[in-house]
Structure 1
């Protein structure tokens, strides 16, 4: 009997290829855990193979298009079918995207310029494939609001292609500027995603029966943060002065902070899933405000401020999506399990350990530069993976785990 049951059980490859988040969230977590550790502890903030590009640019590229890139592929290929009520990509399509993503990571692992060209081509292909997929879904379901995700995804793809072209040409200045724009594009996309995810999650917390929808944010605020980030991007591209862009950064950060204020829905605001989504907005907003302050003459550089926004805002946002979607799409429900909560706390601690010493708020911890922050960051991702791998690697007990109401387009 046991042999028959074993023979009937799906293979791991079939299970992982059934949905985007199953295939891409685990490698995103592994890459997010290992890459900063390798760069800070083993590589000593350098790269194994020297080239034309500064190691810091390799590091930034790997975090944006490596860790966050895999998270993005998993989210888009999972959420868009939910929002449009269309069949989701499976099997060969997902594994092809995973192969392209993996080629890019091999190049980024050692920093070789020639491999970087191949990796850049692979990254460009999966970025364009995501844009085409969302565009095709919008054409098939024009009543679903997909313009904002498509716009930001298209901007991220364009920035990613230019970044890789700059790497191939050995133009460090262009690569530096375009990596910043790519990070801002990701923050704009994060603002759109948070607007769509926070509403159904908050309503689920407030009314687990799903009979009512007591949480309805002001519609004018839904696109405020992404819209102001777009203004910053346009100002960067136009080459406006540090003073002008500084004020624009502060304005965009304040819009993210407004999202934090909207999260106060009573005592339930202290539920881990709401706190996590709020912290993503808070770190994004605080980082953007500090970038603006730096450009207006504050006594610190933009580097820690950008880490607060991109490492903190994006990192906590990604891990929050991992934790919430990883439950709902595997036949489980809120609240978050204890390991996920601990992982989120550790990630926030890692961001503060990375940023506060450079801001002069904390003394530098012992050991190699940023090593303690990298270890804490890695532990956060690995704890999440330890807790969620049994969910992701086994078939759902019943249903898809994510009802239409929870992720319907009308919800966000």
Structure 2
């Protein structure tokens, strides 16, 4: 099976003659500013929303607290993580120069300007907030498309396309605030579903690759390959169809049936990837858990569609707090270590961060099903605080890694 390689320790993707040290280490590689931003933005706005949720206050008058929370977790937190990953991975895939220095700082400024505009949306014209907040994704798509096209990497061309779909999803959310159309929920759900597709594509490549590597180091010659030639395509195709049916509000039986197929295919891939055998390597098993939350999301959607016994928020938070939150943490912790010249091993505090994010996600996913309505607000706050604590711990541990030079003295 062809695999996607993340940048690893000791690797460089550009000619040494072209490598010039950036003015600041923070803007030496795409993962540095954007992983730091994602870490901070995972917990800070979430804690603000939990305060709003528990007290009934609304700090963003033009956006309801719930919609603002959803928007910023998708188009703020997750967008930062996706941007950092792609700016780091694409040079590795294509052998082209990395985006660094002033160009990287400009991209980071676009992301930050969007966040400032959103937090000041009660006082700024809605059209201005829209323009500023929408700027990142098309700029990033154009930045990445050039190297991919020149390198003839058709296999990775879906990434700029998905970035443009994220742009469209974000636009849909703003159209409601502008009073043009009632498309807030559609935009948020579309954004979440694009992130799920990114997890299926990227996670489907790196999880078996890194698992095979860990097993080989442990003395196992096991090579994790697809059970049949079109297994990855079938899984991604079934998932995409299930998500499209959900967005289109297709008959419940249709959506449930395809969701069941997608969930079973994702779960089958995990089974074949020997998830149980990864328990010795937290930096590997966290990838399996993140991918597993995708299966959980589709399977809960199927159960809800067939029997009507689960709420829509169960599936939604299996995808968001579970799959997106866990997989982002898994990829950021691994990529930052490898591309800063460090040994790719999760430290004990990061293992705790993993457990906190997973535990917080599970509480959030199953709160509507297991908690009495009177206790629901408290359970939501508890789950959110646990999840946020995991990202706070990540930020404290990884901030020095992200802002300091590589330990091996290489540029970046």
How would you bin the TM-score normalised by the shorter chain? Answer: 0.7 to 0.9
CA contact (8 A) 2:275 2:288 kept: no
CA contact (8 A) 1:104 1:122 kept: yes
1:49 to 2:49 alignment: no
Residue equivalent to 1:227: 237
Select which of 165, 176, 185 maps to 1:166.
176
Residue equivalent to 2:406: 396
Select which of 202, 205, 219 maps to 1:196.
205
Please give the alpha-carbon distance, in whole angstroms, between the structure 1 residues aligned to 2:127 and 2:108. Answer: 18
Please give the alpha-carbon distance, in whole angstroms, between the structure 2 residues aligned to 1:76 and 1:357. Answer: 34
Residue equivalent to 1:156: 166
Cα distance change, pair 366–139 in 1 and its aligned pair in 2 (3 A): closer
Q: CA deviation at 1:337?
A: 1.4
Q: CA deviation at 1:30?
A: 0.7
CA contact (8 A) 2:368 2:376 kept: no
1:322 to 2:332 alignment: yes
Please give the alpha-carbon distance, in whole angstroms, between the structure 2 residues aligned to 1:213 and 1:119. Answer: 52
Please give the alpha-carbon distance, in whole angstroms, between the structure 1 residues aligned to 2:124 and 2:335. Answer: 37
Residue equivalent to 2:192: 183
Following superposition of structure 1 onto structure 2, how do residues 3-402 of structure 1 map, counting pairs within 5 Å?
14-42=24-52, 44=55, 46-51=57-62, 53-109=63-119, 112=122, 114=124, 116-143=126-153, 145-169=155-179, 171=181, 173-208=182-217, 214-218=223-227, 219-264=229-274, 267-268=277-278, 270-360=280-370, 368=378, 370-398=380-408
Please give the alpha-carbon distance, in whole angstroms, between the structure 2 residues aligned to 1:308 and 1:113. Answer: 34
CA contact (8 A) 1:284 1:310 kept: no
TM-score by length of 1: 0.85
Deviations 1:309-360 (A, max 9, x none): 1210010000001111111011012221112111010001111222222112
CA contact (8 A) 1:105 1:119 kept: no
Cα distance change, pair 258–113 in 1 and its aligned pair in 2 (3 A): farther
TM-score by length of 2: 0.85
Cα distance change, pair 174–296 in 1 and its aligned pair in 2 (3 A): farther
Q: CA deviation at 1:105?
A: 1.5
SS in 2 for 1:222: helix
Deviations 1:75-133 (A, max 9, x none): 11001111111111011222212122112222433652845543332232111112212
Please give the alpha-carbon distance, in whole angstroms, between the structure 1 residues aligned to 2:313 and 2:145. Answer: 35
Please give the alpha-carbon distance, in whole angstroms, between the structure 2 residues aligned to 1:253 and 1:41. Answer: 34
CA contact (8 A) 1:307 1:355 kept: yes
Q: How many pairs does the alignment contain?
A: 391
Please give the alpha-carbon distance, in whole angstroms, between the structure 2 residues aligned to 1:341 and 1:139. Answer: 38
My pick for the range that moved more, 24-33 or 268-277, is 268-277
Please give the alpha-carbon distance, in whole angstroms, between the structure 2 residues aligned to 1:374 and 1:152. Answer: 28
Deviations 1:42-66 (A, max 9, x none): 5636531323x43222111111011
Please give the alpha-carbon distance, in whole angstroms, between the structure 1 residues aligned to 2:410 and 2:221. Answer: 22
Cα distance change, pair 13–41 in 1 and its aligned pair in 2 (3 A): farther
Please give the alpha-carbon distance, in whole angstroms, between the structure 1 residues aligned to 2:261 and 2:306. Answer: 13
Q: Which runs of 5+ in 2 are unaligned?
A: 1-19
Please give the alpha-carbon distance, in whole angstroms, between the structure 1 residues aligned to 2:238 and 2:411. Answer: 35
CA contact (8 A) 1:188 1:225 kept: no
Which structure is richer in relative contact order (CA contacts within 8 A, separation 6 or more)? 2
RMSD in angstroms over aligned alpha carbons?
3.0
Residue equivalent to 1:408: none
Please give the alpha-carbon distance, in whole angstroms, between the structure 1 residues aligned to 2:192 and 2:158. Answer: 17
CA contact (8 A) 1:84 1:144 kept: no
Cα distance change, pair 346–13 in 1 and its aligned pair in 2 (3 A): farther
Cα distance change, pair 331–311 in 1 and its aligned pair in 2 (3 A): same
